[in-house]
Amino acid sequence: MYFTKGNQMNELKDYVRTIPDFPEEGIMFRDITTVLQDAEGFALAVDSMLDAIKDVDFDVFALAESRGFIFGSAMAYKLSKPIALVRKKGKLPCETIEQEYELEYGTATLEMHTDSIKKGQRVVVVDDLIATGGTLKATCELVEKLGGEVVSIVALMELCGLEGRKKLDGYRVDTVLKYEGK
């Protein structure tokens, strides 16, 4: 998918800034702030993510904190679909369920309101990035605990070298941009 700006044809990858050796040497950090800072880049990102799931029949988006909120909210608005928020532990005010998952050094916990997904609802999970797959796997597990069915996971980018897709085996996974390495 492309966006024409003046006489220039931009691909979505043209809006992503790469910062070498951040946060540590050898890492090529893919920065989405440059996508968000450009209205055309942001529109292209949202439209590309929607295009990736155009054949998916679903009821609700489950959005992973925090950058999943950005892209997923715009997607939900365009399709007139509701949103279920997936947040870090202690951020939601009503009754919640939780799912712990592993980080590189330790664990973290995600939560959802118990009334955010109804039994039998078909759910698309949204985040900005698939890295190790831990956040998205935990999000899917929360949706399933509530009786929902994850019909797709969609992310703007995938860092293939971290093999997060392996952790998501059994789910449909759609990404717009794929980067080799970490």
Q: Active-site residue among 67, 87, 111, 165?
A: 67
* Set 24, 25, 104, 180: catalytic member: 104
Instruction: Please spell the DSSP secondary structure of the chain, one letter per residue.
Output: -EEEETTEEEEGGGG-EEEET-SSTT-EEEE-HHHHTSHHHHHHHHHHHHHHTTT---SEEEEETTHHHHHHHHHHHHHT--EEEEEETT---S-EEEEEEEETTEEEEEEEETTSS-TT-EEEEEEEEESSSHHHHHHHHHHHHTT-EEEEEEEEEEEGGG-HHHHTTTS-EEEEEEES--
Residue 25 annotated among the catalytic residues of the structure = no
172 counts as catalytic: no
Rounded to whole angstroms, how far apart are CA atoms 66 and 70?
Answer: 7
Residue 152's CB is within 10 A of a number of other CB atoms, namely: 19
Residues serving a catalytic function are 67, 104
